[in-house]
């Protein structure tokens, strides 16, 4: 496939609009596609910032094309692909597959109906999209033979619940990547469950990935990486902000450089919200901590609050109402699942709040 065909493929996204599609069909002989260099900026995506602060990521025509080519490796035999993100529509052009397009926030029950109705065999999504099947102990439609999981941590506990709902022919691929460079590494879901490591097993690097580990942090570069950040320094190696090591020739994540919470498709930064919460009357200090919930197959947000000693109202409703009010409001997707009142543990000469201790005590 040459780059000109790729440009036509990118234009296909616009045709989803009935108005544009009708205009094209009525005047298709008058349409001309502009020539563009493969390094031309193609799309700018806002990332919530797995890599530190939120940023704008700029992809070129070439990087998008190469990225899709890497994903194509996992779905070369697909016939019907469900796409709920715009750039995945292009995978249909690369694989000659039929594309079924739907909204990203589709209800779980409706998703099940679509998978069955159109006999979709490939779907790339975060793990929580399968919660409906797990909670109701429902078999995942057998026609869905390529299950690609990504965009959020894929914990072994989740896979242990999902796999019994699948047939042996249904393949599960866990993909590790980021907006800047997707994919980075991958592993078969069944292999991940069967392999014991100290940390989160990410698997093998995809081809053409160059990497270095600097002070335990994984840094990567590859031909399919973004072109650059918008208004932000772009270094030769992209910093993942993930702490890793290599165990038995496999990539393993052992922690996060920044205490970020990932819930559904949202990356939540405690340091954005904690100063706001501390402004609530009678709140002395607080700490937002993530706890993985095996029932939800997602991360819960636990808010630990230390009140001023003179205030004796230890009431979840009081704090939650303040978080929803105008003056102290925070984003709805960052609202805590539970509020615990306690004396916060400290560590080090600067007496920073020990979040690891809070997490251990909660468990």
pLDDT in tens, 81-133: 998 877 777 777 777 888 888 887 788 788 889 999 999 999 998 888 888 89
User: What does the DSSP 8-state code read for residue 247?
Assistant: E
The confidence score (pLDDT) of residue 336 equals 93
**Closest C-alpha to 174, from 158, 145, 150, 193:** 150
Crossing angle for the helix pair 3-11 and 61-72, to the nearest 10 degrees: 90
Q: How confident is the model at residue 187 (pLDDT cuts 50, 70, 90)?
A: very high
Q: Cα separation of 119 and 149, whole Å?
A: 19
The confidence score (pLDDT) of residue 170 equals 96
- Long-range CB pairs of 163-168 (<8 Å, 24+ gap) are 163/189, 163/190, 163/193, 165/133, 165/134, 165/137, 165/138, 165/139, 165/140, 166/139, 166/140, 167/142
Least confident of 1-5, 135-139, 173-177, 331-335: 1-5
* Mean pLDDT value across the chain: 82
Q: Cα separation of 215 and 236, whole Å?
A: 17
304 has a pLDDT exceeding 90: yes
246 has a pLDDT exceeding 60: yes
Q: Cα separation of 290 and 99, whole Å?
A: 36
**Closest C-alpha to 337, from 309, 282, 278, 295:** 295
Average pLDDT over residues 293-319: 79
Q: Which fold has domain 37-256?
A: Rossmann fold (3.40.50)
Q: How confident is the model at residue 4 (pLDDT cuts 50, 70, 90)?
A: very low
184 has a pLDDT exceeding 60: yes
For 55, residues 6+ apart whose C-beta sits below 8 A from its C-beta are 46, 47, 49, 229, 230, 232
Residue 36 has phi, psi (to 5 degrees) of -145, 145
Can you give the pTM of this predicted structure? 0.71
List where CATH 3.30.300.30 sits in the chain.
Answer: 261-362
149 has a pLDDT exceeding 90: yes
Q: How confident is the model at residue 292 (pLDDT cuts 50, 70, 90)?
A: confident
DSSP states along 57-98 = EEEEHHHHHHHHHHHHTT-TT-SEEEE-SGGGGGHHHHHT-E
The answer to whether the beta carbons of residues 317 and 325 sit under 8 Å apart is no
1 has a pLDDT exceeding 70: no
Neighbours of 348 (CB within 10 A): 7
Q: Cα separation of 155 and 34, whole Å?
A: 45
13 has a pLDDT exceeding 50: no
List where CATH 3.40.50.12780 sits in the chain.
Answer: 37-256
Q: Cα separation of 306 and 358, whole Å?
A: 12
The answer to whether the beta carbons of residues 316 and 307 sit under 8 Å apart is no
- 297 vs 242, more confident: 242
pLDDT tens string 319-354: 888 898 878 888 888 899 999 998 888 875 446 788
Which residue reads 């704008």 in tokens? 56
The confidence score (pLDDT) of residue 53 equals 67
User: What does the DSSP 8-state code read for residue 296?
Assistant: T
- 243 vs 310, more confident: 243
Question: For residue 317, what are its two tokens?
Answer: 């409703």
C-alpha distance across the termini of the chain, in Å = 53
The confidence score (pLDDT) of residue 29 equals 55
Question: For residue 249, what are its two tokens?
Answer: 């020739």
- CATH homologous superfamily for the domain 261-362: ANL, C-terminal domain (3.30.300.30)
pLDDT tens string 192-218: 999 988 888 999 999 999 999 998 899
Average pLDDT over residues 245-272: 82
CA 125 to chain centroid, in Å, comes to: 8
The confidence score (pLDDT) of residue 34 equals 60
Average pLDDT over residues 256-278: 79
- 23 vs 267, more confident: 267
267 has a pLDDT exceeding 70: yes
The confidence score (pLDDT) of residue 15 equals 37
Q: How confident is the model at residue 250 (pLDDT cuts 50, 70, 90)?
A: very high
Could you tell me what percent of the chain has a pLDDT over 70?
A: 85
The answer to whether the beta carbons of residues 252 and 202 sit under 8 Å apart is yes
Three-class SS of residue 222? coil
User: What does the DSSP 8-state code read for residue 308?
Assistant: -
């Amino acid at each position: 496939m040459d780059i000109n065909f790729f440009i036509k493929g990118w234009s296909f996204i616009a045709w989803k609009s009935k108005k544009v599609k009708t205009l094209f069909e009525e005047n298709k002989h008058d349409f001309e596609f502009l020539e563009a260099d493969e390094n031309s900026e193609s799309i700018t995506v806002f990332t919530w910032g797995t890599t530190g602060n939120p940023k704008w990521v700029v992809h070129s025509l070439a990087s998008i094309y190469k990225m899709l080519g890497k994903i194509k490796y996992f779905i070369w035999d697909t016939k019907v692909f469900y796409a709920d993100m715009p750039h995945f529509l292009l995978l249909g052009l690369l694989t000659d597959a039929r594309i079924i397009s739907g909204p990203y926030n589709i209800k779980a029950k409706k998703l099940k109906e679509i998978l069955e109705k159109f006999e979709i065999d490939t779907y790339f999504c975060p793990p929580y999209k399968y919660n409906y099947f797990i909670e109701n102990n429902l078999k995942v439609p057998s026609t869905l033979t390529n299950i690609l999981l990504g965009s959020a941590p894929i914990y072994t506990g989740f896979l242990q619940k999902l796999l019994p709902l699948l047939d042996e022919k249904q393949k599960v691929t866990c993909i590790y990547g980021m907006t800047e460079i997707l994919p980075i590494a991958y592993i078969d879901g069944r292999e991940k469950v069967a392999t014991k490591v100290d940390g989160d097993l990410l698997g093998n690097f995809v081809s053409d990935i160059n990497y270095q580990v600097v002070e335990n942090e994984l840094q990567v570069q590859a031909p399919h990486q973004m072109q650059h950040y918008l208004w932000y320094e772009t270094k030769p190696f992209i910093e993942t902000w993930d702490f890793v090591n290599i165990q038995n020739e496999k990539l393993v994540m052992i922690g996060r450089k920044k205490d970020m919470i990932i819930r559904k498709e949202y990356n939540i930064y405690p340091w954005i919200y904690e100063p706001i919460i501390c402004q609530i009357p009678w709140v002395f200090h607080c700490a937002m901590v993530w706890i993985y919930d095996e029932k939800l197959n997602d991360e819960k947000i636990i808010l630990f609050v230390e009140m001023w000693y003179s205030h004796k109202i230890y009431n979840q409703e009081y704090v939650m109402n303040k978080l929803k009010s105008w003056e102290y409001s925070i984003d709805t997707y960052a609202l805590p699942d539970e509020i615990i009142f306690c004396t916060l543990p400290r560590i080090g000469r600067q007496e920073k709040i020990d979040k690891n201790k809070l997490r251990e005590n909660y468990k």
